[in-house]
Amino acid sequence: MSEPAICRRLQSSAAGLAIMGEVPGADVMVDGGAGTGIFSRQLGALLPVEITITGIESSASMRAQAVAETTDNTCLEFSDGVAEALPFIAAAARAVVAATAAYWFARPAFYAEAHRILVPGCAAKPLDAKRGGCR
């Protein structure tokens, strides 16, 4: 499968998580380890505008680049934080995703945090993207 085809499958899979069913009071999708916001912006293009995508990134310079490159999408925001301690209250998100950054997470802590912030019945999904892909 070509890299663009792999990227489209990853984007569709993540977007599908966010739009499955009604989730009262949870209009947030979290992108853990958002980096420069590439995957967050791609998801933003696929999701209804009612769903806010919050990219969580610990690097100030990467977060600043994500904000600078996100000029035309009001459903995106970027916040300081780490995947192992997501800055959300319990049951706040309809979906949690992580692309390439998931390789560097302490995964048990990330999964526990994803479970904590997800509305019951919603899903977390680490996505396996080839390094440097999905641009």
Whole-model pTM?
0.79
Fold classification of 3-126 is Rossmann fold (3.40.50)
Token representation of residue 82: 């780490």
Q: Which residue's structure tokens are 């999701």?
A: 47
**Which pLDDT tens digit goes with each residue over 107-134?**
899 989 999 998 887 766 666 554 444 4
**Which pLDDT tens digit goes with each residue over 88-104?**
999 999 888 888 888 88
The pLDDT score that the predictor gives to residue 7 is 44
- Give the mean pLDDT of 33-57: 90
Query: What are the sequence ranges of the domains in the chain?
Result: 3-126
Q: How far apart are CA 61 and CA 76, in angstroms?
A: 17
Contact at 8 Å (CB) between 36 and 69? yes
* C-alpha count within 13 angstroms, C-beta hemisphere, residue 78: 25
